[in-house]
Amino acid sequence: MTGENHFSKNKRGFWTQWILTLACTVTCVASPHAAPPNMSSAEIDQKVSSTLKRMTLEEKLGQLQQLCGAWDGDCLPEDFALARQGRLGSTIFIRGAKRTAELQRVAVNESRLHIPVLFAFDVIHGYRTIFPVPLGEAASWDPRGAERSTSIAADEASAAGIRWTFAPMVDIARDPRWGRIVEGAGEDPFLGMAMAAARVRGFQGTNYGLPDKVVACAKHWVAYGAAEGGRDYNTAEVSERTLREIYFPPFKAALDAGVGTFMSAFNDLDGLPGSVNSFTLSKVLRGEWHFDGVVVSDYNAVNELIAHGVAADGKDAAAQALNAGVDMEMFSRLYNENGAELLKEKKVSRKTIDEAVRRVLRLKYQLGLFEHPYADEAHEKATLLNPAHLKAARELAARSFVLLKNERGTLPISKDLKSIAVIGPLADDPQNILGPWCGDGRKEDSVTLLAGIRAKLPGATVNYAKGCDVTGNSTEGFNEAEDAARQSDFVIVAVGETSSMSGEAASRSSLDLPGRQLELIQAIHAIGKPYAVVLMNGRPLSINWLATNSPAILETWFAGTQGGNAIADTLFGDANPGGKLPVTFPRSVGQVPIYYNHKNTGRPPGVDPKSPLPYLDIPWTPLYPFGYGLSYTSFAISNLQLSAAHIRPDGSITASVEVKNTGDRAGDEVVQLYIHRLVASVTRPVQELKGFQRVSLQPGESRRVEFLLGPRELGFYDRAMRFAVEPGKIQIKVGASSEDGLESSFEIIKPR
Ligand code: BGC
């Protein structure tokens, strides 16, 4: 990875480098082991300035254009024409070492200024080796795991010519109707921050200029997850306080981790769509946070300013987005179509255009694209689906599973059984298990649950029956499924959602199991054989009947290429589930939005028995709370200690507990710390996650787990909207979910 590439920069002069680079573009492929660009930012700036000076306006606008290739990854004829004219800044979808190199050769060899194209793609949870969907990955509460999966994704994507991923999606989502909840880390900003930073670190490494890294993109800036009614693309009404405390923090964490780019969101927020929002783009992102990287619009979002009703036409839309600081336009071509006129009419300044181009060129230099423009087919072949990647996918998938219920030790299943029924529409489905945004993942590479179980139990009879589809009304397959169950010692039923029921433009008004799946489970239940339900889905589901009646429920999200093996590992005890819910599971869609870090209100339900309950017809509590998840072993958390009884506002305090594996198998517990501030200048949530650690323990083993709380964790936005640590009493709770734990408290005291 760090070996010196024979045309790396060192201290050679600019022209020498150009000549060498050009020579190499004809004769060499980029070494996958090349060094990152050996240039200081001053050197890069100087190169950018000198390139900028030589560019025509057309070429400049071309750098601000991102166009699509074909969905299957191929180039379109127009891509070649524009690349030849030096008018193609970036593409999406075009992928594969051969295809990207073909187009890149045209840009580098045939365009006037030889500026390479930047190939982008949505590498969300893996490129070819697919990992669990991000919501599942968040359920692992394992940022190191997320760093590992994204690092592998970067390795594979870059081998296929992709150097820019539109991930991580760090939108907080408190509404499970919204299909894109699957793409993020759930409802909590603290967990969201940890996962955002980890994913950025994994994609970008220490330097995204390394050829096996990609530049990441924090999206969608911002509050897209607050879409009203969970309807995709919808308006978000969010107060500045909630923006700053809930929706901004994962973006800030991505920024602090060095994220190279941001994407402006589709939604309007306080009357302004993401691509013209002067508060979020100019005041916060560029102003307060000093972000000077590329901001790309979401797909067609500049053009959509017209439908939003804030731009009269394409020209107006282009002017507003450029002036708001959106550097690159994805899909629509309004910058290119109108840029010259806008400049002439002084609606956009040359400086604004130059600044946008400067950011794009700087990114290309930082990525080392000028030195290593091409991916290499042999390296790609050796990298995609490499056995180490598949092994990681299997391990990380198992870490994402959440055991929701396990009555009388139904799971794990004994490997000695003679026969097992594997039932359900998702049991042998190689496509859906990959999830909704699965890069270049292919169903022919994926291991279904049925295949995983067959591999796990080569000597047993495996009776498979689909039973029904995920959607639709047919129960024709029920008889066959019931027969399979009757003939077997144990039954596994795999149900849930299709992958297309979550993701973009995939909101649902119901959180129930779709189609006839619940009836299928009820039919199996009636037979009386021991059984477990395996859920595959991209959002919380209101599975009340299952929660009451089924003996065991394992939430596996969409687990990816190795999903079937990982589920089989878990069902048979080779892996012990240790995941916890990163999002609340409601009892009913009518409770939505429901999230653990809500406010108390003036009549807190459940505290004063005389207070009215929020609903007349259902309990107000969730079906499964945030942070919840079981294990095959048991843990005891004890001996909560605080390092001080009081601290100053600028001080910090350590909370620690002992966690012990009190059962008889190795397992993981996620120890979680929550705080609650009793009195403050503004209302505060009933609890806020401020620390967590996933700990692996052997039977009988115990460990002390420590959490440090300082101003970052204890501060909030006060009445004057300043981030401050106010004096007052802080309650602490440390436990295994948001609904239990040991409690203590300390005071923050103003120094005299
Ligand atoms: C999505 C983005 C995505 C882009 C490119 C848009 O529709 O909102 O998340 O990165 O398409 O595929």
What is the tens place of the pLDDT at every residue in 442-483? Answer: 999 999 999 999 999 999 999 999 999 999 999 999 999 999
**Is the N-terminal amide bond of 711 cis, ω within 30° of 0?**
no
Atom of ligand 1 nearest to the CA of 219: 9
Take atom 11 of ligand 1 and give the residue whose Cα is closest: 299
User: What pLDDT is stored for residue 39 in this prediction?
Assistant: 86
Question: Best of 162, 182, 504 to mutate for ligand 1, by most ligand atoms within 8 A of CB?
Answer: 504
Take atom 8 of ligand 1 and give the residue whose Cα is closest: 298
Take atom 6 of ligand 1 and give the residue whose Cα is closest: 299
User: What pLDDT is stored for residue 608 in this prediction?
Assistant: 78
Using alpha carbons only, what angle is made at residue 152 by residues 147 and 156, rounded to the nearest 5 degrees?
A: 150
Closest-CA residue to 491 (of 562, 398, 394, 410) = 410
Q: How far is the CA of 221 from the centre of ligand 1 (A)?
A: 12
Closest-CA residue to 581 (of 397, 403, 395, 393) = 403
Atom of ligand 1 nearest to the CA of 220: 9
What percent of the chain stands above pLDDT 90? 93
Per the listing, tokens 């350590």 go with 654
Please state, as a whole number, how many other Cβ atoms lie within 10 Å of the Cβ of residue 50: 10
User: What pLDDT is stored for residue 560 in this prediction?
Assistant: 98
Q: Token pair for residue 734?
A: 């440390």
Atom of ligand 1 nearest to the CA of 169: 9
Q: How far is the CA of 298 from the centre of ligand 1 (A)?
A: 6
User: What pLDDT is stored for residue 6 in this prediction?
Assistant: 28
**Distances from the Cα of 432 to the Cα of 97, 441, 449, 495, angstroms:** 27, 11, 11, 11
> Is the pTM higher than 0.85?
yes
User: What pLDDT is stored for residue 31 in this prediction?
Assistant: 40
Question: Best of 118, 232, 298, 328 to mutate for ligand 1, by most ligand atoms within 8 A of CB?
Answer: 298
User: What pLDDT is stored for residue 25 in this prediction?
Assistant: 35
Q: Token pair for residue 457?
A: 């139990």
Spell out which residues line ligand 1, taking CB within 6 angstroms. Answer: 92, 122, 166, 219, 298-299, 504
Q: How far is the CA of 218 from the centre of ligand 1 (A)?
A: 12
Pairwise CA distance, residues 596 & 593, whole Å: 10
Q: How far is the CA of 558 from the centre of ligand 1 (A)?
A: 20
Question: Best of 91, 95, 166, 170 to mutate for ligand 1, by most ligand atoms within 8 A of CB?
Answer: 166
Q: How far is the CA of 224 from the centre of ligand 1 (A)?
A: 12
Task: Please give the torsion angle defined by the CA atoms of residues 253, 258, 264 and 266, in that order, rounded to the nearest 10 degrees.
Answer: -50
Q: How far is the CA of 546 from the centre of ligand 1 (A)?
A: 35
Atom of ligand 1 nearest to the CA of 93: 12
What is the tens place of the pLDDT at every residue in 179-227? Answer: 999 999 999 999 999 999 999 999 999 999 999 999 999 999 999 999 9
Atom of ligand 1 nearest to the CA of 331: 5
Take atom 7 of ligand 1 and give the residue whose Cα is closest: 299
Spell out the residues 6+ positions from residue 706 whose beta carbon is closer than 8 angstroms to its own.
Answer: 654, 655, 656
**pLDDT per 10-residue tile (average), the chain, 752 residues:** 29 33 36 62 95 98 96 94 97 98 98 98 98 98 98 98 98 98 98 98 97 98 98 98 98 98 98 98 98 98 98 98 98 98 98 98 97 97 98 98 98 97 98 97 98 98 98 98 98 98 98 98 98 98 98 98 98 98 98 97 85 91 98 98 98 98 98 98 98 98 98 98 98 98 97 83
User: What pLDDT is stored for residue 47 in this prediction?
Assistant: 96
Pairwise CA distance, residues 514 & 472, whole Å: 8
Q: How far is the CA of 299 from the centre of ligand 1 (A)?
A: 6
Active-site annotation, residues: 298
User: What pLDDT is stored for residue 522 in this prediction?
Assistant: 98
DSSP-derived 3-state class of residue 86: coil
Pairwise CA distance, residues 567 & 465, whole Å: 18
Spell 490-509 as b/e; 16+ CB within 10 A means b: bbbbbbbbbbebbbbebbbe
Take atom 2 of ligand 1 and give the residue whose Cα is closest: 298
